[in-house]
């Protein structure tokens, strides 16, 4: 059961710990040094703690446990046997096969592991069993401490229906809606009509965007009820739904609360979480550009009032929707650690996992409300194995053939649970990591995020780096003009990648041409002393043709020492680099402007893929002669797929709505694909007769 850390893993862990400590402590003024995370070896908590989770959050909990001197037990499915959290823990036990219902949601198996390992406490992370009152009850019955609130608070606040009623009683602003469980699709339609469209259909249990749909009419309400109930049952084991008025164009701002068992409760400022796709957060930051001190205080005080109303004890998050007039409405409370908690840690200096463990052991909070600072600014980007060009992110699977986190960039923190060689599978959430940057102000934090994204090496799976980078540099985002509709408003026709300016296009062409020439020169070099003297090439200029997008550009390159002078569009650019072609990252200076690029692929035909300003561009670089001859090469005809319905993502077919011989209409549902715990309806692209249902 023991899993020892190898030298490389120990080194990586040490780097991660040092980076996290830097993020928690850096820039804290002397007057606030009390609030940088400190770990008292004489403060006894637990000897051994089990983490009932996987991936990055399991690794995150293990790091704090190591600082506190607590031994850890990891659980894992059979496909996660070589996962990073398994290697980091002191012990690791398999709890079942890959499907979550048979492993990470398998309470009987997890309880058995707790008994076998004699773990004194359990940290549930987020998702899975983190808000399951039955799991907390079973732990309490066995005398095992649940690192979270008690069963009453989980029931009251984890259930969106009951929590809304409690919020009303605690005088917290709430959204108009139906305060009960929706029985079936017909009742959902009736309730939606009474409330008035649009409405939000969402799971009573859980969160994270699972089991959540917006409906604008009766048909969408029926469809939303079906999918939301199925997703809720799959993700949380609870298919109950509620319906409430959908507030159009709001901001999503949440308040972090922390409470102990002695009646003390604090609000740890807010997190801005408005950049979302499919109701799941993509970019978060703390603090929010929108809140003034009065609104922040009012939201914080209402959040604490709600926590005290249910005698809440642990870290929790009260989520609000905020309209353009700064009116705010209670959305839900998550009785667990949030995915985006690192940005709060960066601006307050608190280690929230440590605070949760201390509270669970019975210690009182160490701080008062007036002591909680807002120091600097933190931004978090969720890096996903997704194709951002498809609905802002459809899941991608594969093996990470190359992986390098940008920890060399100052004030960067990466919370991840993967490493080079890890598999991104269809069974779990496609998150690769949480990338966090910190600065003394927002501009500094965003600039560091831009640099960190450029220096993040991820090969083997499609990822959303290009979308993240475009979001953080977009003028609307930079000036704080955002809402939960940011992505569809900014990209109404879908995300297309970075649109190059004329200058940026010239920079890319010059860089690609310089890379081509540098590679040609390297191929002429010989190592050692050959027996036969070889005449050195005296060539110093090249005439090339570069194909980019719909354009073909003549490019002239001449060598000048370690630099290249490149002529594009009649303009000359000076391109300088160390030209280390074996490195996954290449720092290039173009007329004094530094760019970090990645060359992802190349072949003998001159085709190459370069990641430039976050977006991957495909180019073909040929000599002038080769370009003239290439026009005589036949082109391969594109496959006609108009009569084929092919899933745009890997996943499991959970329902087939038709059979061979059926007549189908354009827009009719053919099947339902489940991928990474989300269900997606596949529809017919045209009207016709179904010939065959099968797989390739």
CATH number at residue 85: 3.40.50.20
Q: Based on C-alpha coordinates, what's the Rg of the chain? A: 27
Provide the CATH number for the domain around residue 241: 3.30.1490.20
Q: Could you count the other beta carbons within 10 Å of the beta carbon of residue 539?
A: 11
Residue 507 and residue 613 in one domain: yes
Provide the CATH number for the domain around residue 662: 2.40.50.100
Within a domain: 670: yes
Q: What is the pLDDT of residues 62-82, one digit of tens each?
A: 999 999 999 999 999 999 999
CA distance 457 to 439: 23
Whether residue 332 lies in the annotated active site? yes
Q: Which of 338, 357, 375 is the last residue of a domain?
A: 375
Tokens 């009453």, located at residue:
152
Residue 332 and residue 436 in one domain: no
Query: Quick check: 121 and 146 in contact, CB under 8 A?
Result: yes
Provide the CATH number for the domain around residue 390: 3.30.470.20
Within a domain: 589: yes
DSSP structural state of residue 174: B
Q: Could you count the other beta carbons within 10 Å of the beta carbon of residue 108?
A: 9
- 3-state DSSP call for residue 412? strand
Residue 241 and residue 254 in one domain: no
Domain count, the chain: 6
CA distance 413 to 59: 13
Q: Pull the structure tokens for residue 45.
A: 């908590």
Q: What is the DSSP string of 628-668?
A: HHHTTSPPPPPP--TT----SS--EEEEE---TT-EE-TT-
Helix axes 465-473, 442-454, angle to 10 degrees: 150
- The continuous run of DSSP H or E covering 196 comes out as none
CA distance 160 to 182: 12
Distances (CA, A) of 74 to 17, 86, 144, 443, 603: 19, 6, 16, 39, 43
Residue 283 and residue 388 in one domain: no
Structural domain including 70 reads: 48-147
Reported in sequence order, the residue ranges of 391-498 that DSSP labels E, i.e. its strands, are: 394-395, 398-399, 402-404, 412-416, 423-424, 431-439, 457-459
Residue 309's Cα: distance from chain center in Å? 33
Residue 241 and residue 253 in one domain: no
CA distance 442 to 289: 9
- The continuous run of DSSP H or E covering 675 comes out as strand 669-675
Instruction: Note the pLDDT of residue 249.
Output: 81
Residue 405 and residue 351 in one domain: no
* Intra-chain end-to-end CA distance of the chain, in Å: 40
Within a domain: 639: no
Within a domain: 695: no
Instruction: Note the pLDDT of residue 632.
Output: 86
Residue 220's Cα: distance from chain center in Å? 28
Query: Quick check: 108 and 102 in contact, CB under 8 A?
Result: no
Residue 186 and residue 226 in one domain: yes
b (16+ CB within 10 A) / e for 438-447: bbeebebbbe
Within a domain: 544: yes
What are residue 615's phi and psi, to 5 degrees? -100, 145
What are residue 123's phi and psi, to 5 degrees? -105, 125
Distances (CA, A) of 203 to 102, 466, 550, 553: 21, 31, 46, 54
Residue 598 and residue 508 in one domain: yes
CA distance 398 to 67: 33
Residue 235 and residue 317 in one domain: no
- The continuous run of DSSP H or E covering 626 comes out as helix 624-630
Within a domain: 166: no
- 3-state DSSP call for residue 170? coil
CA distance 685 to 674: 20
CA distance 449 to 37: 23
* Edge-to-edge order in the sheet of strand 212-215: 212-215, 199-203, 241-245
Residue 59 and residue 77 in one domain: yes
Q: Provide the phi-psi class of 563: left if phi over 0, else alpha when psi is between -120 and 50, else beta.
A: beta
Within a domain: 634: no
pLDDT averaged per 10 residues in sequence order, the chain, 696 residues:
45 49 38 56 94 98 97 98 97 97 97 98 96 96 97 85 88 85 91 91 72 90 91 78 86 98 98 93 97 98 97 96 91 94 97 98 96 96 95 90 97 97 92 97 98 98 97 98 95 96 98 95 74 66 95 95 92 95 96 97 93 98 92 83 81 89 90 80 88 72
Residue 371 and residue 390 in one domain: no
Within a domain: 430: yes
Residue from 332, 345, 405, 444 carrying the catalytic annotation: 332
DSSP structural state of residue 2: B
* Edge-to-edge order in the sheet of strand 71-77: 91-96, 71-77, 48-51, 121-123, 145-146
Q: Pull the structure tokens for residue 166.
A: 């409690």
Residue 70 and residue 142 in one domain: yes
């Amino acid at each position: 059961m023991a899993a020892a850390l190898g030298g490389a893993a120990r080194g990586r862990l040490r780097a991660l710990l040092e980076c996290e400590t830097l993020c928690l402590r850096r820039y804290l003024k002397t007057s606030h040094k009390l609030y940088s995370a400190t770990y008292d070896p004489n403060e006894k908590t637990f000897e051994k703690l089990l983490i009932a989770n996987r991936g990055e959050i399991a690794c995150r909990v293990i790091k704090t446990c190591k600082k506190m001197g607590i031994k850890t037990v990891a659980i894992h499915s059979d496909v996660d046997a070589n996962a990073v959290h398994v290697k980091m823990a002191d012990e690791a036990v398999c709890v079942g096969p890959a499907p979550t219902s048979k492993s990470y949601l398998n309470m009987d198996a997890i309880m058995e592991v707790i008994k076998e390992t004699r773990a004194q406490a359990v940290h549930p992370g987020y998702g899975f069993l983190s808000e399951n009152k039955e799991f907390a009850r079973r732990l309490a019955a066995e005398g095992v401490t649940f690192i979270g609130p008690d069963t009453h608070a989980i029931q009251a606040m984890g259930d969106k229906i009951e929590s809304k009623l409690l919020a009303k009683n605690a005088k917290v602003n709430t959204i108009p809606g139906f305060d009960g469980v929706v029985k079936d699709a017909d009742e959902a339609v009736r309730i939606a009509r009474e409330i008035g469209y649009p409405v939000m259909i969402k799971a009573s249990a859980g969160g994270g965007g699972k089991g959540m749909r917006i409906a604008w009419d009766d048909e969408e309400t029926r469809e939303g009820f079906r999918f939301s109930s199925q997703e809720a049952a799959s993700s949380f084991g609870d298919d109950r739904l509620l319906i409430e008025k959908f507030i159009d164009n709001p901001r999503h701002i949440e308040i972090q609360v922390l409470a102990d068992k002695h009646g003390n409760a604090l609000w740890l400022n807010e997190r801005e979480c408005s950049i979302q796709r499919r109701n799941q957060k993509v970019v978060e930051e703390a603090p929010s550009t929108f809140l003034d001190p009065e609104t922040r205080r009012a939201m914080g005080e209402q959040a604490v009032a709600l926590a005290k109303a249910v005698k809440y004890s642990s870290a929790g998050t009260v989520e609000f929707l905020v309209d353009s007039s700064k009116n705010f409405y209670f959305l839900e409370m998550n009785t667990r650690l949030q995915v985006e908690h690192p940005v709060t840690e960066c601006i307050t200096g608190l280690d929230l996992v440590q605070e949760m463990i201390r509270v669970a052991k019975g210690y009182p909070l160490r701080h008062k409300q007036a002591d909680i600072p807002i120091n600097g600014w933190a931004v978090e980007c969720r890096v996903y194995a997704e194709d951002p060009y498809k609905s802002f992110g459809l899941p991608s699977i594969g093996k990470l053939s190359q992986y390098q986190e940008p920890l060399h960039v100052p004030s960067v923190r990466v919370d991840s649970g993967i490493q080079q060689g890890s598999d991104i599978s269809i069974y779990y959430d496609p998150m690769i990591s949480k990338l966090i940057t910190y600065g003394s102000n927002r501009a500094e934090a965003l600039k560091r995020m831009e640099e960190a994204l450029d220096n993040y090496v991820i090969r083997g799976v499609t990822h959303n780096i290009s979308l993240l980078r475009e979001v953080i540099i977009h003028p609307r985002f930079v000036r704080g003009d955002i809402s939960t509709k940011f992505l569809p408003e900014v990209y109404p026709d879908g995300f297309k990648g970075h649109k190059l300016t004329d200058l940026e296009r010239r920079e890319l062409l010059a860089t690609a041409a310089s890379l081509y020439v540098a590679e040609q020169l390297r191929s002429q070099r010989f190592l050692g002393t050959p027996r036969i003297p070889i005449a050195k090439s005296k060539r110093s200029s090249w005439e090339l043709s570069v194909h980019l997008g719909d354009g073909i550009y003549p490019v002239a390159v001449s060598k000048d020492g370690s630099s290249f002078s490149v002529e594009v569009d009649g303009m000359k650019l000076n391109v300088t680099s160390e030209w280390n072609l074996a490195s996954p990252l290449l720092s290039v200076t173009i007329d004094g402007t530094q760019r970090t690029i990645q060359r992802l692929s190349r072949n003998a035909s001159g085709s190459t893929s370069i990641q430039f300003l976050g977006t991957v561009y495909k180019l073909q670089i040929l000599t002038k002669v080769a370009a003239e001859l290439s026009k005589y090469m036949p082109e391969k005809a594109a496959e006609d797929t108009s009569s084929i319905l092919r899933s745009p993502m890997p996943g499991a077919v959970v329902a087939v709505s038709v059979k061979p011989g059926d007549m189908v209409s354009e827009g009719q549902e053919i099947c339902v694909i489940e991928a990474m715990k989300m269900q997606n309806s596949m529809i017919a692209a045209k009207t016709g007769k179904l010939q065959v249902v099968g797989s390739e």
